[in-house]
Amino acid sequence: MRRKRGRALDGWLLVDKPSGPTSTDVVNRVRRAFDAQKAGHGGTLDPLATGLLPVAFGAATKTVPYIMDGTKLYHFTLRFGEARDTDDADGEVIETSELRPDDARIRAGLASFQGDIMQVPPIFSAIKVAGERAYDMAREGRPPVLEPRPARIDRFELIERPDADRAVFAVQSGKGVYMRSLARDLARVCGSVGHVSALRRLRVGPFLVEDAISLDKIIEGADNAPTSPALLRPVATALADIPALALTEIEAESLSHGQAISLVTMMGRIPDSANPAGGIARAMDGGRVIGLCRLEDGWLRPERLL
């Protein structure tokens, strides 16, 4: 029998991911639970990691890049004494150290990881090298040499020290920052080696883990009937951190047809937080989001219409 295409659903689902499944596994399971046509996630979590995984359905997938650009908040546990090939507890031990830094040495080391830094991603990552995924190369015994990449760290704090072997940190960061690399590199700066033994994501852009639903709760009973769309949040909730720009009815009509609008006619309405030199704004027609627009060269140009 030919498989049904599924329901056309639009919106965001906030999943509290358990440790074990990959982010893709979670997306596939909730897509089946909702019998949805289209779904994707707003930022990968490693299998070991838990916490907030925003899942986009239908039109919400258009806003995924803006979610991934948003602020992230993590808590992770660094275990000193063992370096692992994956830089987390799922990997094989490749180096050991007897040194266990004290709190003062750890806090001194944190100074190297504030603001704009360069970071070498873990070799077990989805980065492509000459068309191949780094993790595929590493699994085949051909670990790639990865180049440092820019990373933005807004906050990196020691928040707990359960024992000499472990330290717990809070990290607020921008897009594409690897917590496994932070743990690995901080341990080195402190004169030891280490890896991530636990990782939990608490925030992605405007979304918070307190509002997320456990995966088990989402899929329970899905064999009998599709999960209720009432659990989904509106597409526009992903854009709450982007400055809102109120349009007239005529402007909204023009923008929805792909036409640029002169910013001169909008003087007094442009929010102070919107950067007129290439910034993004959320175009509003009353309470309805028309889409995302870019302010540049004196014009408001449609970037992504919803």
Measure the CA–CA gap between 279 and 175, rounded to whole angstroms: 17
First to last CA, the chain: 34
Between the alpha carbon of residue 150 and those of residues 103, 195, 260, the distances in Å are 27, 21, 33
* Tokens describing residue 133: 């995924």
List the catalytic residue out of 10, 16, 46, 185: 46
Active site residue 46: yes
Q: Which residues are part of the catalytic machinery?
A: 46
